[in-house]
Amino acid sequence: MTGSQRCPNRSVSMRFSSGEGRPRARAMRQLSNAEAASSPAPAGTAIAMARRALGTICMADAVVNDIHVVFPANAAKEQLGALAAELLSRRDVILDAWRAYGNVVPDARNIAASLSRAQFNDHIPAVLDSLSRTLQAWPEVPGVMAEHLEADKVADHGVQRWQQGYSLSEVLREWGYLQMCVAAELERYAADHPSLEPGVMPNARRIWAELCADGVTSSATQYGRLQQTESAGHVTALERALEALHTMEQSRAEAWRIAAHDLRGSVTVVKGAATLNASGASLPELVRTEVAEMLSKGVSSLNDMLNDLLSLARLEAGHEQRTVTPFDAAVVLRDFCTASQAAATDRGLFLKMDGPSTLPVEGDKPKILRILQNLLLNAVKYTERGGISVSWGLDQTRDTDRWTFSVQDTGAGIDEADAAAFAQELHNATEVADEARDASTDRRRDMAGAATARSASGEATASEQHGEGVGLSIVKRLCELLGASLELATKPGHGSTFRVILPCRYDEK
């Protein structure tokens, strides 16, 4: 059962259920009884009170349950329009009061103080504009709110606050401040206009409450989504870091396995030579001399390998420090390559050099030579025909004060289909080729050639690759220590080029 009443002196028609009609029916009875009274003054007072009560019910309860409200142009609509215009004209005042609220909160981080006015206001002016438009269009509240709320902009407010460093609690608190500022403005307007129709301010407060609630919900929802996205990103980054750590540990374990393999091979050679030497009384003098030479070189190789392991351990532990001094890189690299010519020649390879005659730089010369040594070992080991070219000079590819040297070979190159080709090649380039070898003439010749190059350069050089199972692991660590980058250009069947780019100057001396 439904009822329909028309409020006296109001252009308002209402349809309501029987349950909701009882307060209105009582008001109508009060009005009828007052009009029937014989005393003019009391009757007038009663009529006025009844009409006001009914008007308040009609206006304030217009949105209860299934009540349908139709508001043609009337005094209430005009007054809501005037209120909308007032709020629009005082928008900047409201925004200033809103910012002032945030600046006096004791537990706030006061991010607002570091923001410009436009950054702080963000999308809130659009929310206040939406409030004014909704009040002006009332009572078509549902349609106007759907059209003018601009929910995407309200949601973007949460995104903007996220980017500005606000926490979720600060965003919600900020909306609370805005609600209080607009509510204070509504109360000020009501106090300045006591003749307003009874339902004007209740409806204005309800409209603002709905807009503010939608704004809070949209901002908080968007903020929550960003938090979830960031958390998912953190999880992904952590998983990748753990995977990288696991891979690094596997690589390190493999490097140490290879080093142990190399060490065992060298120990086997030394042990065999020592055994032969122990029975030297029954050996010809020439054989005894060769065994003694083999023993000496095996011990030297073993000593170098142990030094390499110690060097890698120190690098991984962060105990190595770079010592920067000025030197001529062209002279140092040329001298090293000249001393290594014999090792390349023994394998039937050429070793070419190209670069300016002088290249003054700053850096850690011994560590740079160590890098070159291992790259050259790599090239000699994996090149069967052709040769190696070493070049140096200022870096022409970057607008920075850097210099570079490259080691290019004509070997088989690296298969680009291998996703881990570069890292694996760095790891394997100085890996020992075989188990301990027989004391053959070929092996002795290789060791003698390496010893000649070492004697000339003062550094371990090319053919000592049999003791360099951790060589390029050291190269990678040294590049990190020197602030250098290591690049690889390769093509299967056309060789590889390792390029090291280093600073020409360092801050420390």
Triad 236, 164, 156: Cα angle to 5°: 85
- State how far the Cα of 197 lies from the Cα of 203, in Å rounded to an integer: 11
What DSSP designation does 282 have? Answer: G
Contact 315, 308 (CB under 8 A): no
Across the chain, mean pLDDT equals 69
* pLDDT at residue 25, rounded to an integer: 45
407 — pLDDT class (breaks 50, 70, 90):
very high
Q: Write out the two tokens for 27.
A: 């008001």
C-beta separation of 332 from 365 below 8 A:
yes
Structure tokens at 362: 């700053």
Whether 112 and 99 have beta carbons less than 8 Å apart is answered as: yes
Residue that wins the pLDDT comparison between 73 and 272? 272
Domain parsing of the chain, residue ranges: 2-70, 75-239, 279-503
3-state secondary structure 201-239: HHHHHHHHHHHHHHHHHHHHHHHHHHHHHHHHHHHHHHH
- The C-alpha atoms of residue 468 and residue 265 are separated, in whole angstroms, by 12
Question: How confident is the model over 294-309, as a mean pLDDT?
Answer: 70
Residues 453-470: tens digit of each pLDDT: 333 333 333 333 333 446
* Distance (Å, whole) CA 358 – CA 295: 41
Instruction: Please tell me the CATH code under which domain 75-239 is placed.
Output: 1.10.490
**Confidence class for position 83, pLDDT limits 50, 70, 90:** confident
| pLDDT for 153 | 61
Between 291 and 281, the higher pLDDT residue? 291
Could you confirm whether domain 279-503 is CATH 3.40.30.10?
no
Please check the confidence at residue 418 and state whether its pLDDT lies above 60.
no
Q: What is the largest CA-CA distance in the chain?
A: 153
Q: How many CA atoms lie within 13 Å of 458's alpha carbon, on the beta-carbon side? A: 6
More confident call, 168 vs 18: 168
CA distance 426 to 406: 15
